[in-house]
Amino acid sequence: MQKLKLGIIFGGMSTENEVSCVSGVSIIKNLNKEKYDIYPVYIDKNGEWFEVLNLEENEKRGEELEDKNPISNVMEFLKSLDVVFPVLHGLYGEDGTIQGVFELLKVPYVGCGVLASSVGMDKVYSKIIFNKAGINQAKYVYLRKYNEDYIFIDEAFNEKILKLEELSNIVCDKLKFPMFVKPSNSGSSVGISKVSDKEELNDAIVEASKFDRKILIEEGIVGREVECAVLGNEDVISSCVGEIKAADEFYSYDAKYNNQESKTLIPAEISEEKAEEIRKLAVKAFKAIDGKGLSRVDFFVEEGTEKVYINEINTLPGFTSISMYPKLFGEIGIVYEELLDRLIELAL
């Protein structure tokens, strides 16, 4: 059998460049070299593309990758491949932009298409779709930065320009503390704050607006944080449900990547019925955004009421050998290497 020419693209122009490199290297190591001719591709933070040589020896992170050649004609390079796996998190990778390039070039690629990727990356638009799908979620307010002021946008998309002070009064009327303030296009918790009073709320809005002009403010849910992985195009399967035990006030950037005290629990400490409910909701959310290939869907299970709330969908979740996505499928017997084979088959 002819080997498939497979491009593994990692790095990228987002705050998650380093994480993506770890995922990319992990994938390359685990792929079956009998089946695939692997072309490792690194995109640096400025958007320059490189073909990485001798990855095995050179197996370091992002900027330390020394043995690499610039790709002068990215389009031609991509067209020479049979299939690509964009292992990119965040902006310009998980948001539909690079997926659009693959579509234009007619190169098959792993994972969600343009629409699902961009909806999944945008927390406000994800919420609008989840709402339409009848999936329970935290109450929220949507706003946009507008010069020195803000635009409050209601559920019917009516807009009102407000000063920060007027805006936070409205938010306080609509939502209860604690609240989470998030840039709509964020990842790895960058720009996200948990706030417990109006002063903190004002500061958090200013902070979030540094990362995106669209801002989402949500009521905080007290309870367990759980995650479920999905795989498939039309026939979508879901994994076991896992749980996050964040070492911080919430699962912040630091708690995710620096604090060794953050733990994951597989399976989550919830009843089998709850887990089944979450698995169904994960598939529903994935279908609702028109997902393809893979996603990890994150939820809260509220303390006391045991009500399930969807938090977000990640169309290109972390993919290191210790990441939730592969571990959740590993738990139901789909090992890392098989998971990669299946994703590539789905792409083709």
Ligand X SMILES: Nc1ncnc2c1ncn2[C@@H]1O[C@H](COP(=O)(O)OP(=O)(O)O)[C@@H](O)[C@H]1O
The number of angstroms, rounded, from the C-alpha of 69 to the middle of its chain's C-alpha atoms is: 29
Please report how close the Cβ of residue 240 comes to ligand X at its closest, in angstroms: 19
CB-nearer residue toward ligand X: 208 or 231: 208
Q: What is the three-class DSSP state of 164?
A: helix
In whole angstroms, what is the distance from residue 164 CA to residue 208 CA?
A: 13
Shortest CB 246 distance to ligand X, Å:
6
Nearer to ligand X among residue 172 and residue 346 (C-beta)? 172
Q: Least distance from C-beta 187 to ligand X, angstroms?
A: 5
Other CB atoms within 10 A of residue 181 CB: 26
Among 205, 123, 135, CA closest to 170 = 205
Give the burial class of 348: count Cβ atoms within 10 A of its Cβ; 0-12 exposed, 13-18 middle, 19 or more buried: exposed
Closest distance between ligand X and the C-beta of residue 31, in Å? 27
Residue with smaller CB distance to ligand X, 91 or 344: 91
- Closest contact distance (angstroms) between CB of 250 and ligand X is 4
Report in angstroms how near the CB of residue 180 gets to ligand X at its nearest.
4
Counting every residue, how long is the chain?
Answer: 348
Give the nearer residue to ligand X in terms of CB position, either 243 or 298. 298
User: Closer to ligand X at the Cβ: 212 or 312?
Assistant: 312
Minimal distance, residue 129 CB to ligand X, in Å: 15
- Enumerate binding residues for ligand X (CB under 6 A): 138, 180, 182, 186-189, 192, 218, 220-221, 225, 246, 250-251, 298, 300, 311-312
Rounded CA separation 94/34 (Å): 29
Q: Which is nearer to ligand X, 7 or 90 (CB)?
A: 90
Question: What minimum distance in Å lies between the beta carbon of 83 and ligand X?
Answer: 27
Q: Judged by CB, which is closer to ligand X: 216, or 334?
A: 216
Backbone CA torsion sign across 112, 117, 121, 126: negative
DSSP letter assigned to residue 88: -
Give the 3-state secondary structure of residue 218: strand
H-helix or E-strand containing 121?
helix 114-121
CA distance 318 to 23: 6
Q: Which is nearer to ligand X, 122 or 334 (CB)?
A: 122
Helix (H) or strand (E) holding 80: none
CB 7 within 8 A of CB 41: yes
> Distance (Å, rounded) from C-alpha 17 to C-alpha 187?
11
Contact between 99 and 25 (Cβ < 8 Å): no
